Structure 1
Amino acid sequence: MPRNADNETHWNAIAQRYALEPGPINLENGYFGRMSRAVQAQYLEHVAFINRSNSVYVRQRFEQGENVEIRRQLAELINVDPESVAFTRNATEALQSLIRNYNRLQPGDQVLISDLEYDTVKGAMGWLAGVSGVEVVELSHAHPASFDSLVQTYRDAFTQYPRLKLMALTHVTHRTGLVMPVEAIAKAASEHGIDVILDGAHALGQIEFDLVELGIQFAGFNLHKWIGAPLTLGFLYIAPERLADVDPDMGEFHYPTTDVRARTSYSTPNFPALMTLPLVFAEHRALGGSAAKGARVNYLRDLWVSQVRSLSGIEVLTPDDPRLYCGITAFKFAGRDQQVMADRLLKDFNLFTTTRVGAAFGSCIRVTPGLVTSVADINALVHAVTKLNAD
């Protein structure tokens, strides 16, 4: 186990850096993450400053160079060329821009999604079919999943559907926290001439990865889940050698066609949020980065999963292969309405979770610990699941 992952004193001290509203124990930290007190204070200072200075600062300083340094720091975060990233408002906007503007499809080609993709990605691929005359192929992953079964499912699809040219792939699935074997799948896709658009929304900040090593040339991310930034910040990535394969967004003209920033819509951004990013990145590194954050939430995940997986009425949907899970994990009460059970977790045990639907296995309850989650919180979850399962 990485150093400090199980050190409650260490993580309790870190938890004190975040302001918490009184209320239920929050085990739904996957929607978006908290800003630290320091980040929140600086963000509010920037809000007040931008409100006072208005366009004078933005036109004369931010747009004339300060934004370039922030973009450089973003690229450094994931070890890529600054010319390969462009800010968006969230991962959804980034992924929709990439799907909308990918220009290598012809009528009759096929694009691939799975039942574990984010719904807006599925919707974007469906829209693409309507406007481009391509066919959408959707896979349903078998559960329980294994590393080999996941890779083989895609290999089989690549053989079965020879007209595939583009696929969506989610690094960490939002329904169950399943971590896809991205490198192996991307390698197989490349062998068949299929491009991959990676949804990295839940991976960034939880998992250490290298996009080049993964074989990924198109990806979308956000900064508000596991990095600790204010809401309204995400970004897209296009490998520089593949820029020409994505058109400027709807004729975007504020940047030249050789600039990746032309691949998403140009609009007035959240300047105070962008200005806060250097502090966000510094805090992320000071905490130990994705390695430390990921180790901590994985440790908390293992605590509850190891105790409830053996219960006869509980199905944990996320495998225990360390290559295939992160801090997010989903489970089901066998034969029960999962929303009713999630409501009971909240009403009877003061535990806030969320249900996820849309996958072939049906609905489930997603549990996502965060940096402020304690072992006591996890023990409360184990107690509640055990009691409800016995009812």
Structure 2
Amino acid sequence: MPCNAANEAHWQAIADRYALEPGPINLENGYFGRMSRAVQAQYLEHVAFINRSNAVHVRQHFEQGENVEIRRQLAELIDADPESVAFTRNATEALQSLIRNYNRLQPGDQVLISDLEYDTVKAAMRWLAGYRGVEVIEISHAHPASFDSLLQSYRDAFVQYPRLKLMALTYVTHRTGLVMPVEAIARAAREHAVDVILDGAHALGQIEFNLAELGIAFAGFNLHKWIGAPLTLGFLYIATERLADIDPDMGEFHYPITDVRARTPYSTPNFPALMTLPLVFEEHRALGGAAAKGARMNYLRDLWVRQVRPLSGIEVLTSDDPRLYCGITAFKFIGRDQPVMADRLLRDYNLFTTTRNGAAFGTCIRVTPGLATSTADIHALINAITALSAD
């Protein structure tokens, strides 16, 4: 852990870069992240400028070169070839494009999802059954999860379902923050000729990774969660040597078939948001990137988890194996109605969280600190859970 992860003065100075609305303590920073004051100011300047200049600047400058440089900087962020990335509105749009346009499926093939995938990703994979004639295999992971149990679940599936050709895999599960052993799972998938489409929505900005080293050829990401960009920005990644395995999106013709940008819907993007990205990337790097952000989020997570895990009536659902968690973690009040308890956290203790459901372990309460979260906020959470567990 970098030495400044626990340095409150350091992180308070960073928190001061963000404008906060008075109200509950926000422990639901996983939905989307805040822009810093500097990013917000530049974004609003770009909004006003594009509104004034309209198509003149976009046609003469943005489309003629600015977008190329911004895309180059995006690729640099993940150490990838610029020809392997294309902007989307969010990770969901990226993943839907990859799933519907993956062209190596034949009727009778099988595709794989688990209970920990994002619901929209599950729906897109199920959509393939009707439109590609494939069989959808759904597995549930054992709880509590371990590195070995997660990997074994996939090894077992690859053996049990020999017609598997494609699988969805979430890097950081949105329900509990469980970090999947992506490299090991992807290696096992390759041994059985199964392609992986990676949902990296919550990973980018929290976890350091290299897609080539992970063995991932297809992935979708958000820029407005942990990178700090304006809303409506994400991107897809297709390894350049695998571009032909993803068809242009619904006959997209504005870009050549050899251009990765043909794999996304062509539309008028949020130009001001895209123009703000160089500053977003600069701030991300200056802060220390995913290494610093991830270390801070993990530090805050550990503060509350270590205190509440031993409590009677509390189940923390996310593993303490450092390979398997990040700043996001979920828990349950055993035998209680979780939405009711989340409401009590808000009503009685001024703590805003969110509930997640859809996995084999049922409904849970998700806690996600952010860059503006203080240790005082975390201690307020500890005190609230402790009191409610004894109630």
- Matched with 2:298 is 298
After TM superposition, give the deviation of residue 2 of structure 1 in Å: 1.3
- Matched with 2:196 is 196
Give the counterpart letter for 2:277 in structure 1: L
After TM superposition, give the deviation of residue 386 of structure 1 in Å: 0.5
Give the counterpart letter for 2:342 in structure 1: A
- Matched with 1:156 is 156
Structure-2 separation of matches of 1:262 and 1:126: 24
Structure-1 separation of matches of 2:253 and 2:112: 31
> Which ranges in structure 1 are unaligned for 5 or more consecutive residues?
none
Alignment of 1:266-277 (within 5 A): 266-277=266-277
- Matched with 1:281 is 281
Structure-2 separation of matches of 1:379 and 1:222: 30
* 1:185-219 C-alpha deviation (Å, 9 max, x unpaired): 00000000000000000000000000000000000
- Matched with 2:86 is 86
Structure-1 separation of matches of 2:137 and 2:108: 12
Give the counterpart letter for 1:303 in structure 2: L
- Matched with 2:379 is 379
After TM superposition, give the deviation of residue 312 of structure 1 in Å: 1.6
Give the counterpart letter for 2:113 in structure 1: I
Structure-1 separation of matches of 2:235 and 2:3: 31
Structure-2 separation of matches of 1:216 and 1:78: 12
Alignment of 1:290-329 (within 5 A): 290-329=290-329
Structure-2 separation of matches of 1:198 and 1:263: 16
Is 2:67 the partner of 1:67?
yes
- Matched with 1:251 is 251
- Matched with 2:353 is 353
Give the counterpart letter for 2:49 in structure 1: F
Is 2:51 the partner of 1:39?
no
Give the counterpart letter for 2:255 in structure 1: Y
- Matched with 2:219 is 219
Structure-2 separation of matches of 1:21 and 1:69: 34
Structure-2 separation of matches of 1:222 and 1:262: 19
Structure-2 separation of matches of 1:61 and 1:312: 62
For 1:341, what is the secondary structure of its paired residue? helix
Give the counterpart letter for 1:180 in structure 2: M
Structure-2 separation of matches of 1:142 and 1:340: 26
After TM superposition, give the deviation of residue 63 of structure 1 in Å: 0.2
Is 2:258 the partner of 1:261?
no
Shift >6 Å, 4+ stretches: none
Structure-1 separation of matches of 2:387 and 2:117: 33
Structure-1 separation of matches of 2:298 and 2:333: 22
For 1:382, what is the secondary structure of its paired residue? helix
Structure-2 separation of matches of 1:284 and 1:2: 16
For 2:370, what is the secondary structure of its paired residue? coil
For 1:284, what is the secondary structure of its paired residue? helix
- Matched with 1:28 is 28
Give the counterpart letter for 2:192 in structure 1: H
- Matched with 2:6 is 6
For 1:64, what is the secondary structure of its paired residue? helix
Structure-2 separation of matches of 1:78 and 1:301: 25
After TM superposition, give the deviation of residue 128 of structure 1 in Å: 1.1
- Matched with 1:362 is 362
- Matched with 2:340 is 340
TM-score, length basis structure 1: 1.00
Query: When the two structures are aligned, how many residues end up with a matched partner?
Result: 391
Give the counterpart letter for 2:128 in structure 1: L
* 1:247-277 C-alpha deviation (Å, 9 max, x unpaired): 0000000000000000010000000000000
TM-score, length basis structure 2: 1.00
Structure-2 separation of matches of 1:107 and 1:336: 45
Give the counterpart letter for 1:18 in structure 2: Y
